[in-house]
Amino acid sequence: MLSNYGSELFGKIEYPVVSLEQIFRTPFWANFYANEIKTLERLRAESPNLPLTLKVIAQDNWALVALPCELFVEWGNAICENSPFEYTVVVELANGWNGYIPTKQAFERSGGYETKDVTSTMLVPNAGERVIETVLNMFSEVGDK
Sheet holding 62-66, edge to edge: 55-59, 62-66, 87-91
* Confidence at residue 87, expressed as pLDDT on a 0 to 100 scale: 97
Is residue 118 scored above 70 in pLDDT? yes
Three-state secondary-structure class, residue 22? helix
Do residues 120 and 113 lie in contact, with contact meaning Cβ atoms separated by under 8 Å?
yes
Q: Which pLDDT value is given to residue 1?
A: 43
Q: What is the mean pLDDT of residues 116-124?
A: 79
Q: What is the pLDDT of residues 66-107, one digit of tens each?
A: 999 999 999 999 999 999 999 999 999 998 888 899 998 888
- Listed range (29-38, 62-71, 128-137) with the worst mean pLDDT: 29-38
